[in-house]
């Protein structure tokens, strides 16, 4: 088998650099797409914000070579089982980030910052 | 919802009571002269003071004559004072709220899941406040993630159906919490406060 004339040696192709920010956005997007996981939006200096499913949870990535540790701060829909929900999120982030970037995700620490029930507006009552 | 030092107080009051009781019995025996009879009957060889004698030996004050005695008395006084201060501070009512809940399903090698108790109590309070007739709710979480202990203080409307609210709390609020945490409550307490002012909602959903 002969090499194609267009083939370039892998050492001459150049490099691909992935920043922590890029991985944070990828992980945040995966978290946002995970069922029962909510991101924070709005507010000022952490005051007055609210959680919804259309926002990315806050993600912080620490890279160590080709390994990464990820910290996620997210809201969770209440009353879903927190252990199962966060374990699902952890597994999705681990596999998703690894498959998309090639970075080995070792740790995913998850901080549950809020639990949001079906209706967050307590001024309203449903008539039965 | 705050805890006081009941067990500590009972323990130390029992100790003080026993010491005072023993001192009182000794005083009565010495004052009545019965101590001498008991000492001679038991053959201890000890001659207790009689009713007409001084209770302490004549040279008792000489024990405090050496300079080191003042130091020892001072140290003992400081220790007793610190114990008294600690006991006084223990009287302050405390919440004894739970620490951060660790909600890991496996080992910690893949990462940790943490949740502050305030986050859980906020969710429980919102859940209770959605019930008909509830004006306000306050929750306090103690224990750990595997053995949570929930105390609920619920303020209700004077016209509310108390029985229905209690039933809903036990049939939906507490099971929801146990589902979320993944562990049954080791203990739960419910305090109902009936307000003297009926609630007025600005909006309703049909």
Using the predicted structure, report yes or no on whether residue A1 has a pLDDT greater than 50.
no
**A107, A117, A123: residue with CB nearest B123:** A117
3-state secondary structure of B23: helix
pLDDT digits (tens, 9 = 90+) for B87-137: 999 888 877 888 999 988 767 788 999 999 999 999 999 999 999 999 999
Q: What is the token pair recorded at B98?
A: 């739970």
Distance CA A105, CA A68 (A): 5
Could you tell me where in chain B the CATH 3.30.300.30 domains are found?
Answer: 101-194
Distance CA B113, CA A87 (A): 8
b/e per residue B115-135 (b: at least 16 CB within 10 A): bbbebbbbbbbbbbebbebbb
How do beta strands A67-77 and B101-102 pair?
A: unpaired
pLDDT digits (tens, 9 = 90+) for B1-50: 667 778 889 998 999 999 999 999 998 988 888 888 888 888 777 777 77
Nearest to A112 by CA among B150, B103, B152, B137: B103
Residue labelled with tokens 């912080």 = A60
Distance CA B36, CA B149 (A): 58
pLDDT digits (tens, 9 = 90+) for B131-186: 999 999 999 999 999 999 999 999 999 888 999 999 999 999 999 999 999 999 99
Distance CA B17, CA B147 (A): 36
Q: Provide CATH code, domain B101-194.
A: 3.30.300.30
Residues 15-54 of B with CB under 8 A from A: none
What chain A holds in terms of domains, given with CATH numbers, is 18-116 (3.30.70.1350)
Residues of A in contact with B111 (CB under 8 A): 70, 90, 107-110
**A86, A122, A127: residue with CB nearest B126:** A122
In the 3-class helix/strand/coil scheme, how is B47-88 assigned residue by residue?
CCCCCCCCCCCCCHHHHHCCHHHHHHHHHHHHHHHHHHHHHH
Distance CA B162, CA B133 (A): 8
- Taking an 8 Å cut-off on Cβ atoms, the answer to whether A117 and B119 are in contact is no
CA B178 to chain centre: 26
């Amino acid at each position: 088998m002969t090499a194609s004339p267009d083939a370039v040696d892998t050492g001459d192709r150049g490099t691909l650099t992935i920043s922590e920010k890029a991985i944070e956005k990828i992980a945040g997007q995966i978290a946002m797409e995970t069922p029962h996981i909510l991101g924070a939006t709005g507010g000022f200096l952490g005051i007055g914000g609210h959680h919804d499913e259309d926002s990315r949870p806050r993600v912080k990535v620490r890279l160590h070579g080709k390994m990464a540790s990820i910290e996620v701060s997210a809201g969770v829909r209440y009353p879903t089982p927190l252990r199962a929900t966060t374990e699902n999120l952890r597994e999705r982030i681990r596999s998703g980030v690894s498959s998309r970037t090639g970075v080995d995700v070792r740790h995913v620490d998850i901080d549950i910052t809020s639990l949001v029930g079906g209706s967050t507006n307590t001024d309203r009552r449903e008539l039965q | 919802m705050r805890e006081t030092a009941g067990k500590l107080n009972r323990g130390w009051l029992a100790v003080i009571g026993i010491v005072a009781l023993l001192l009182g019995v000794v005083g009565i025996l010495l004052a009545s002269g019965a101590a001498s009879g008991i000492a001679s009957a038991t053959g201890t060889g000890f001659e207790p003071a009689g009713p007409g004698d001084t209770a302490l030996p004549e040279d008792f004050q000489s024990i405090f004559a050496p300079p080191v005695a003042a130091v020892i008395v001072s140290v003992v006084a400081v220790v007793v004072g610190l114990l008294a201060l600690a006991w006084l501070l223990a009287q302050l009512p405390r919440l004894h709220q739970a620490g951060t809940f660790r909600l890991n399903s496996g080992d910690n090698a893949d990462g940790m899941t943490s949740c502050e108790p305030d986050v859980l109590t906020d969710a429980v309070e919102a859940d209770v406040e959605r019930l008909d007739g509830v004006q306000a709710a306050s929750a306090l979480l103690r224990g750990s993630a595997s053995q949570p202990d929930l105390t609920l203080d619920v303020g209700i409307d004077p016209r509310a159906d108390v029985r229905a609210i209690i039933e809903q709390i036990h049939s939906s609020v507490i099971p929801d919490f146990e589902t979320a945490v993944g562990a049954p409550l080791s203990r739960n307490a419910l305090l109902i406060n009936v307000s003297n002012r009926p609630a007025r909602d600005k909006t309703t959903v049909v």
